[in-house]
Amino acid sequence: MKENQYDYIIVGAGSAGCVLANRLTEDSDKKVLLLETGGSDKSIFIQMPTALSIPMNTKKYAWQFETEPEPWLDNRRMHCPRGKVLGGSSSINGMVYVRGHARDFDEWHAGGADGWHYRNVLPYFRKSETWAFGGDDYRGDQGPLGVNNGNNMQNPLYSAFVRSGVDAGYFETDDYNGARQEGFGAMHMTVKNGRRWSTANAYLRPAMARPNLTVVTHALVHRVLLDGKTATGVRYEQGGKVHDVTATGEVILCAGSIGSPHLLQLSGIGNREVLEQAGIGVNHELPGVGENLQDHLEFYFQFRCKQPVSLNRRLDWWNKLKIGVRWILKKDGLGATNHFESCGFIRSKAGIEWPDLQYHFLPAAMRYDGKEAFEGDGFQLHVGHNKPKSRGFVHVQSADPKQPPSIRFNYLQQEADREGFRDCVRLTREIISQPAMDEYRGAEIQPGEQVQSDEEIDAFVRQAVESAYHPSCSCKMGTDELAVVDPETRVHGISNLRVVDSSIFPTIPNGNLNAPTIMVAERAADLIRGREPLQSADVPVVMDEQWQARQRPGNARRAVT
C-alpha cells in the first residue's frame, strides 16, 4: 500500500472520530488515517474538570462559531463553540454523561433510522462505558469511557435539590441512565481518576500505540475527493502545503454537526441552490445536507443562598490556586468535578410521554466563563426545554474552506418551544419553593420575581437563554427526502462515504449529546467492519403509566395552569 493510501480516512478526532480510530484499528490489517485540525489536548485546562469553561472559550481549542442573528431571540448572535483539538468537543465540553431517554431512540427508528431503536443501541452504550458503581443490564463495567459522580454530592445543596423535586411530587431516580430517566437524582460525568475522560483519553491514546493508525494534527480538510459518485480520498492542508490522500475503503466524516455538512457542501454534495450561491459546482444533489439543525437552549435560574455553603466563596484567585494545586498533586477535590452533581428530568405537562425539561444543578451562581454572578453565596439551575420543534441550517458561504459557514438555528421559532420555556420558569419556581430548600433559598436573582406573565417570561427568555452547546441533526439519518445518510451511516448516492457523528441524529435526544455520539460511533464501527451487531437488550423502561393524565406522579392534574 502506498504511503498516502489508507483503508479508512477519518476526518475529525472528536467524540466519534476517536472511537472509530480505536475500533477500526482493532483489525490489524486495516490502515487508518485520522485527520484533526486542532492539536494536542494535554493542557491542564482541558484535563482538569473544574476548568471546563476555559477550553470552550479558547480559540486554540475550539472553533468559535457564531450564528446569524436569530430572529426569535431579538436578533442576538449566539456562541457556538466546537472542539478543535484531539478529543474534539469531548475535550471542551461540560463532561455531563446523559444518554437520552429510551423513547428518543425509538423515535429515531420510527422516523426511518431503521434498527436504531433503544433495544439495539443500549448494548453499545454498555460497551462504551465503565460505570463507577458497577455494571448491570443497563450500565457497562468494561468499556473505555470512565463515568462517575465526581465528588458524590458532598455539598448539601445537591441533595437538597433532589429532595425538593421529590417534595414537589416528582420521582426520585437512582440512575437516569438506567431503567428510569424521569425524576431527580445524582448526575453523572465522564471523569476518571480525577481527570476529564474525553474520547482522546479513553479511545485514541490506546489506539495510537498501534502501527496501523496514523494521526495527523493541524490538518484542515478542504474537501472529499470524488470519482463520479464514489469517494476516493480527501484533500487537506497542513503547514501551508496541500496533500491528497487516498482511501481504498471508505472516507468517514466525523467533523460534527457544523463541520460535516460544511465539508459535504465544500465537496459539491448538498442542496443545489446553496452550493451555487457559494460558487461551488454540484457533484451530487442532496437537499438535506445542512438542514434539520437542532440544539438545546438553557438559562440560569439563580437564587441567593442563606447558608455559607455555596461555591461562590471559592471563586477568588487564592482558592482557585489551592484547588488547582491539590488537583495537580492528588487529582481530587473540587478540581476533579464539573460541579454538576445533581439533576432532574421532568415532563412539562400531562400528555407528554417522556421528559422534555432538564435541570443541571450548580451549588454556585456564576456565568459560564466561571466568573461570579454577584457577591455572596448563591446557587443556580441550568434549565431548558429539550425537545425543540424549531429547525435551522448550516450553509456553506464560499468555496474557501477557511471561511466559516452560515449557521442559524431559528431558536424558539415554534410556539411549542416558547411554551416549553414558560413551563421551565413556573415549574422551577414551584420546585425551589419546597420545604427541602427552605434553609438555603434566598431571593430569586434571575429571572426575578417581577417576571410573571407569558409576555414577561418570553421577553426574559429571548435575552437570557444561551446555547447548551448541543448542535445536531444537520445530516440526518433516514430514508426521507431530507435524509443525508442511510441507517448504515452511508451518504445517500455516494459510494464509500459515511458520516458518523451527532449530525446524523434524526432528532435531538433529551439530554447532553456526548454519550449518544459515542454510542453512534460504537455501533457504526460494527457496521463499517461488517460485524454482526451486538445482541439487542430487551429490558424494562420505567415510565409514568399515567403520563397522559398527569404531569407528575404526585399530582393528578397539570401542576401549573
Which CA distances in Å does 175 have to 179, 265, 344, 390? 7, 41, 11, 30
Q: What is the pLDDT of residues 290-318, one digit of tens each?
A: 999 999 999 999 999 999 999 888 778 88
Determine the average pLDDT of the residues in 104-110: 98
Question: Which pLDDT belongs to residue 370?
Answer: 52
pLDDT value at 483 more than 60? yes
pLDDT confidence tier of residue 528, bands split at 50, 70 and 90: very high
Residue 128 lies in a domain: no
Q: Are residues 424 and 310 in the same domain?
A: yes
pLDDT value at 438 more than 70? yes
Residue 64's CB is within 10 A of a number of other CB atoms, namely 15
Specify whether the CB–CB gap between 207 and 192 falls below 8 A.
Answer: no
Q: How far apart are CA 182 and CA 131, in angstroms?
A: 20
pLDDT value at 373 more than 70? no
Q: Are residues 273 and 334 in the same domain?
A: no
Specify whether the CB–CB gap between 82 and 55 falls below 8 A.
Answer: no
Q: Are residues 221 and 361 in the same domain?
A: no
Residue 191 lies in a domain: no
Determine the average pLDDT of the residues in 58-65: 97
CB contact set of 417 (below 8 Å; sequence gap of 6+): 385, 388, 389, 390, 411
Q: What is the pLDDT of residues 11-27, one digit of tens each?
A: 999 999 999 999 999 99
Determine the average pLDDT of the residues in 100-108: 98
For the record, the C-alpha cell of 179 comes out as: 431503567
The three-point CA angle 222-471-79 to 5° equals 85
pLDDT confidence tier of residue 60, bands split at 50, 70 and 90: very high
pLDDT value at 560 more than 50? no
Please report how many Cα atoms fall inside a 13 Å half-sphere around the Cα of residue 99, on the Cβ side. Answer: 28
CB contact set of 211 (below 8 Å; sequence gap of 6+): none
User: In percent, how much of the chain has pLDDT > 90?
Assistant: 93
Q: Are residues 177 and 311 in the same domain?
A: yes
Q: Are residues 398 and 530 in the same domain?
A: yes
Greatest C-alpha distance within the chain? 70
117 is catalytic: no
Q: Are residues 31 and 78 in the same domain?
A: yes
Residue 197, SS3?
coil
Q: Which of 268, 321, 264 lies closest to 289, judged by CA? A: 264
Question: Which pLDDT belongs to residue 312?
Answer: 87
For the record, the C-alpha cell of 290 comes out as: 445542512
Question: Which pLDDT belongs to residue 3?
Answer: 74
- Cell 443556580, located at residue: 380
- Cell 464560499, located at residue: 398
Domain assignment of residue 234, given as a range: 1-95+200-295+390-409+471-505+512-534
**Sheet strands (E) in 373-521:** 378-385, 393-395, 406-408, 441-446, 466-467, 497-499
Q: What is the mean pLDDT of the chain?
A: 95
- Cell 427568555, located at residue: 461
- Cell 455520539, located at residue: 517
Q: What is the pLDDT of residues 181-207, one digit of tens each?
A: 999 999 999 999 999 999 999 999 999
Q: How far apart are CA 362 and CA 233, in angstroms?
A: 46
Question: Which pLDDT belongs to residue 375?
Answer: 78
pLDDT confidence tier of residue 556, bands split at 50, 70 and 90: very low
Tally of domains in the chain: 2
Residue 101 lies in a domain: no
Q: From the candidates 101, 284, 360, 470, which is the catalytic residue?
A: 470
